[in-house]
Amino acid sequence: MRKYYLYYDEKAKINYSFLFALFCIAERNNKDKLNNIIKYKNQKELAERIKDKCNYNISAASISRILNNENYLLYFNVNYKENIITLNNNFKKGTAASNKFIILNDEEIIFLLEQDNKLLNKYYLYLKYYCGYSKSKRIDTTANQILSAIGYSNNCGNNKNNLCKFNDLLYKKGFINIEKIKD
């Protein structure tokens, strides 16, 4: 199973589904021993490859806007002369940025792409970052605190209801553990 290293910024204003699609089509970079290189002929071909391999629809125009958007500089670099996208996997231990990465696997990437839900993406990444991989790590926070942290309105009951639905969905997939805590 492949692992993907995603830089995490809870306030990021980016399309995570597009990043997940890039992870899905990334090729192995033997120098770094990571799946972080995407070679493409043009943006239309890239959009078609993403659709074929990941079942994610994105237009060539949207790809062009994203590749030129400064909000994505922490996530990938684009070499326009050679038509190569290099995903940012600079997670080496001891660097300040190394603490800001989340590790995702194929199953998680495909699941999040299938759902294609911005709130679910941000919520799941928040849980991964703050709960980590240890079953002993727990998060004791309210829906309002989580929504506020990931840049969503905590005054909207619909957002809170969605978090409950996401908990059920993520629990059934085996991505999270839920324990009932009594005061």
Are the CB atoms for 128 and 102 separated by under 8 Å? yes
Query: How many domains does the chain fold into?
Result: 2
Q: Which residues, at least 6 apart from 38, have a Cβ–Cβ distance to it below 8 Å?
A: 22, 25, 26, 27, 46, 84, 85, 86, 87
What is the reported pLDDT for 91? Answer: 65
In a domain, 96, yes or no: no
Same domain (yes/no): 81, 125: no
Of the candidates 170, 94, 85, 61, the one whose C-alpha atom is nearest the C-alpha of residue 126 is 170
- pTM, full prediction: 0.85
Q: Which of 87, 106, 132 is the last residue of a domain?
A: 87
Distance of CA 108 to the CA centre of its chain: 9
Structure-block tokens of residue 43: 């943006």
Of the candidates 106, 69, 104, the one whose C-alpha atom is nearest the C-alpha of residue 89 is 104
What is the reported pLDDT for 98? Answer: 53
Average pLDDT per run of 10 along the chain, which is 183 residues long?
A: 84 92 90 86 96 93 95 92 88 57 90 94 90 57 82 81 91 83 60
Q: Which domain holds residue 143?
A: 117-183
Same domain (yes/no): 75, 137: no
134 phi, psi to nearest 5 deg: -80, 135
Same domain (yes/no): 55, 122: no
Same domain (yes/no): 17, 81: yes
What is the reported pLDDT for 135? Answer: 45
Same domain (yes/no): 7, 82: yes
Task: Quote the crossing angle between the two packed helices 118-131 and 16-25, to the nearest 10°.
Answer: 70
How far apart are alpha carbons 56 and 143 in whole angstroms? 29
Structure-block tokens of residue 39: 């070679």
Structure-block tokens of residue 99: 């603490």
Coil/strand/helix, residue 3: strand
What is the reported pLDDT for 182? Answer: 63
In a domain, 12, yes or no: yes
In a domain, 137, yes or no: yes
In a domain, 105, yes or no: no
In a domain, 97, yes or no: no
What is the reported pLDDT for 138? Answer: 59
